[in-house]
Amino acid sequence: MQSDRRPQLIWDLPLRLWHWALVVCLAGSWITAEAGFDWTTTHFYFGYSALALVLFRLAWALLGTFHSRYATFLASPKQVLAYLRKAKDAEPSAGHNPLGGWASVAIVVLIGLQAGIGLFISDDIFYAGPYNTVVSSSTADWLAGWHHRLFTLIQITALVHVLAVSWYTWGKKEGLIQAMLHGKKTLQVHGAEETVNEHRGLRALLLLALAATVVAILVYVAPLPDYEIY
């Protein structure tokens, strides 16, 4: 068994770019939602981009490098509980720890739901998502309520996420935030299979193009809206 303590590439470049692009899309969706009617079309574009990023992440969960794959880090409930009992003194994980792994999937699901719901709602005045006419107005109102509530949940989750990674970075000195920037962590890596030595950039570009195309087609084939613009 190989055991080595030096900076190791953990997060491939596509995963890191994806992470910061997701942060930009969420911030953009939030700002444009607050900014008033003139910004609604831009809000839709940020939302479509977030949806494409979610689709990309699901594909990257299967086709990305070792630590980006969900199968690598999704732990059993027993492992999560065991980790929670000793989180303060636990050895740094190479990729996500058992709790962080599930948290990362939860964030992706929440954002996917939020963007998916957005497709069906309207502001009842000027703008409607592309699938608004597919649902009754009472269903659309109900979904709009969820678009609002889910966003609050996303804000809380993002805040807890930032507090957690800050604790690991400055409290436990594990360099998590730096690793989401340059990709590397200095730790004990057990076994060559845990070492990432490629980024799979071309594959990532193709998958991103595919994800964007799926979202574009989804919007393009949507029924004609009752509203002028969408």
Nearer to ligand HEM, 22 or 55 (CB): 22
Tell whether the torsion through CA atoms of 190, 192, 193 and 195 is positive or negative. positive
Minimum CB distance to ligand HEM, residue 72 (Å): 10
Rg of the chain over all Cα atoms, to the nearest angstrom: 20
**Would you tell me which residues interact with ligand HEM (CB under 6 A)?**
15, 19, 22-23, 26, 29-30, 33, 43-44, 47-48, 50, 57, 96, 100, 104, 107-108, 111, 114-115, 118-119, 121-123, 127, 129, 144, 147-148, 151, 158, 161-162, 165, 176-177, 180
Q: Is 4 helix (H, G, I), strand (E, B) or coil?
A: strand
Nearer to ligand HEM, 47 or 194 (CB): 47
- At residue 64, what are phi and psi to the nearest 5 degrees? -80, -175
What b/e sequence results for 143-155 when a residue is b if at least 16 CB atoms lie within 10 Å of its CB, and e otherwise? bbeebeebbeebe
Minimum CB distance to ligand HEM, residue 183 (Å): 11
Minimum CB distance to ligand HEM, residue 132 (Å): 8
Cα gap 50→102, rounded to integer Å? 19
Minimum CB distance to ligand HEM, residue 91 (Å): 14
